[in-house]
């Protein structure tokens, strides 16, 4: 991954803006520790100076030196993550980085939210708490091969459990029903949630956007299996907001 400086953007002000900033940074960090893990591992050279893992709201991540200004413009990630890379089991080292990343995400969110009132801060924390942590997403990645299940390409929602033959006949309708033994599980085991970046887990309900074709945890977009039964064509929040702006 090319390491480029992230453009400076205005600090988010509202609960929704801060949560979007949090979600984007979180998804980026999850990707660095899972999909892009080989690049991340290589950049964390123990022979280099103190390095930090940054997740930017524009979707890019970087391993870089900390900011030089004191105090920094915003909270800094854990310093020196590269020094322990070769002294720990790789799985344990990645988990440690994930824990520090979760701590950094919270500090950034509440740094931006310092001027919110008590009710707004409570609402922000509730929205954040509904998301899996970076560590939880990393753990799902580790155990994904044991828990994965297939998904029907013609349908747009997922949930776990064995279904009857009558259920399987509805796979072209919405929501589609998933059988754990469906043959294309390898194809979909790498699916990431478009909101939180978490990997597919057979124990959770998922729904897919008919516009951008991304997949989402039902809880991330506030869609329950019961509600999905009445949705003919689902549009994710991003696609819905684009439509409203046109």
How much is the pLDDT for 124? 95
How much is the pLDDT for 14? 93
Q: What is the distance between the alpha carbons of residues 206 and 219, in angstroms, rounded to a whole number? A: 8
Does residue 126 sit in the same domain as residue 174? no
- Identify whether 8 is part of a domain: no
Angle, CA 94 vertex, CA 124 and CA 35 arms, to 5°:
80
pTM of the model: 0.56
Kindly state the tokens that stand for 41: 């591992």
Does residue 97 sit in the same domain as residue 185? no
Q: What is the distance between the alpha carbons of residues 134 and 223, in angstroms, rounded to a whole number? A: 22
Does residue 24 sit in the same domain as residue 130? yes
Cα–Cα distances in angstroms (integers) from residue 226 to residues 55, 210, 245, in the given order: 35, 18, 29
Q: Which domain holds residue 104?
A: 15-143
Per-residue pLDDT of the chain (246 residues; tens, 9 = 90+): 444 444 445 678 899 999 999 999 999 999 999 999 999 999 999 999 999 999 999 999 999 999 888 888 899 999 999 999 998 899 999 999 999 999 999 999 999 999 999 999 999 999 999 999 999 999 886 555 444 444 443 344 444 333 333 333 333 333 333 334 334 444 455 788 888 888 877 778 888 888 888 888 888 888 888 888 888 888 888 888 765 555
How much is the pLDDT for 19? 95
> Mutual orientation of helices 134-147 and 90-112 as an angle, nearest 10°?
140
Does residue 23 sit in the same domain as residue 121? yes
Does residue 114 sit in the same domain as residue 84? yes
**2: alpha, beta or left, given left = phi > 0 and alpha = psi -120 to 50?**
beta
């Amino acid at each position: 991954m090319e390491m480029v400086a992230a453009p400076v953007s205005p600090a988010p002000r509202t609960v929704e803006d801060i949560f979007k900033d949090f979600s984007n940074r979180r998804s980026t960090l999850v990707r660095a520790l899972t999909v892009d893990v080989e690049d991340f591992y290589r950049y964390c050279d123990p022979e280099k100076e103190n390095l930090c893992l940054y997740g930017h709201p524009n979707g890019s991540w970087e391993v870089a030196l900390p900011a030089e200004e004191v105090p920094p413009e915003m909270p800094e990630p854990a310093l020196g993550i590269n020094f322990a890379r070769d002294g720990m089991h790789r799985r344990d080292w990645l988990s440690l980085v994930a824990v520090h990343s979760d701590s950094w995400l919270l500090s950034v969110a509440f740094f931006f939210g310092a001027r919110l009132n008590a009710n707004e801060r409570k609402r922000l924390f509730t929205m954040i708490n509904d998301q899996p942590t970076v560590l939880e997403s990393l753990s799902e990645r580790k155990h994904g091969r044991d828990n994965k299940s297939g998904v029907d390409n013609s349908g747009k929602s997922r949930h776990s459990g064995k279904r009857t033959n009558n259920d399987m006949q509805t796979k072209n309708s919405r929501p589609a029903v998933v059988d754990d033994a469906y043959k294309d599980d390898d194809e979909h085991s790498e699916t990431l949630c478009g909101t939180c970046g978490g990997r597919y887990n057979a124990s959770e309900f998922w729904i897919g956007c008919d516009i951008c074709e991304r997949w989402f945890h039902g809880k991330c977009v506030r869609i329950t299996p019961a509600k999905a039964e009445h949705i003919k064509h689902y549009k994710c929040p991003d696609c819905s907001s684009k439509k409203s702006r046109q």
